[in-house]
Amino acid sequence: MEFLTPQPNHSSTNTATTTETPPSAAPTSRYENQKRRDWNTFCQYLRNHRPPLSPSLCGGPHVLEFLRYLDQFGKTKVHHQTCPYFGMPNPPSPCPCPLRQAWGSLDALIGRLRAAYEEHGGKPETNPFGARTIRVFLREVRDFQARSRGISYEKKRKRPKQKKESRVARAEIKTLLDG
C-alpha cells in the first residue's frame, strides 16, 4: 500500500508545474504582495498600540496616528515654512528639515489598505481608510508638500502644443527619408 502512494502524488506534482503562474500576472501579484505587506504592518502597529487595537475597532484618528508613525521612515525632504529652501525643488545645500513619507506613497498606501480592510471582512461603511478625515488629511499633505518642495501634483493636462510638435518632428523625419 505504502509503495503505491507516491504514484498519484507524483502525477499531481506534474500538473502543478504545468499550471505555473504566467508572467503576465506579475504586476497584479506585486500589488497584491504590497497590499499584504501593508496590511501586516498595519496589524502589527495595532498590536503594539497602547491599548492594543483590532482593525474593527479602528477609526480615522487611528489611521492618522499610523500615518504619522510611518513618517519616521520617510525619505522625502519636506521643508519647514521657516527654511530658506522652502519652495525650492533643488536646494543648493543640505538643511535640517525632516524626511517624510511622500504624499504619493501615502495616497497609494491608503488605497491598498482600504481594499485590504474590506477583503478581511470589514464593512465599507465603517472603513476607516475611507473616512473623510483621511481624505482631508491627504489633501493637506499634498498641498503642503507641493508648496514646500516647489512642485505641482496637479494632474497633467493634455498638451495640444506638444502634439503639434511631434507632428512636425514626424514631418521632418519623412523629409529626411524622402530626401
Q: Which of 35, 79, 112, 149 binds Zn ion (CB under 5 A)?
A: 79
Q: Which stretch binds Zn ion (CB under 5 A): 21-29, 57-65, 71-79, 121-129?
A: 71-79
CA distance 109 to 132: 16
85 is an interface residue for Zn ion by CB under 5 A = yes
CA quadruple 78, 84, 87, 93: dihedral sign: negative
Q: CA angle, corner 52, sides to 124 and 37, nearest 5?
A: 60
83 is an interface residue for Zn ion by CB under 5 A = yes
**What are 143's three cell numbers?**
498641498
146 is an interface residue for Zn ion by CB under 5 A = no
Question: E-strand spans in the chain?
Answer: 76-77, 99-100
Q: Which stretch binds Zn ion (CB under 5 A): 3-11, 79-87, 151-159, 170-178?
A: 79-87
* CB of 79 vs Zn ion, minimal distance in Å: 4
* CB of 88 vs Zn ion, minimal distance in Å: 8
CB-wise, 80 or 120, nearer to Zn ion? Answer: 80
* CB of 133 vs Zn ion, minimal distance in Å: 28
CA distance 32 to 81: 38
CB-wise, 67 or 95, nearer to Zn ion? Answer: 95
Q: Which of 43, 67, 88, 95 binds Zn ion (CB under 5 A)?
A: 95
Residue type, position 126, single letter: T
* CA distances, 178 to each of 40, 79, 81, 171 (Å): 61, 54, 57, 10
* CB of 55 vs Zn ion, minimal distance in Å: 36
CA quadruple 113, 114, 118, 119: dihedral sign: negative
Q: Which of 101, 130, 104 is nearest to 115 (CA)?
A: 130
- Draw the binding track, 97-116, toward Zn ion (x: CB under 5 A; -: no contact): x-------------------
* CB of 94 vs Zn ion, minimal distance in Å: 8
The footprint of Zn ion (CB under 5 A) covers 79, 83, 85, 95, 97
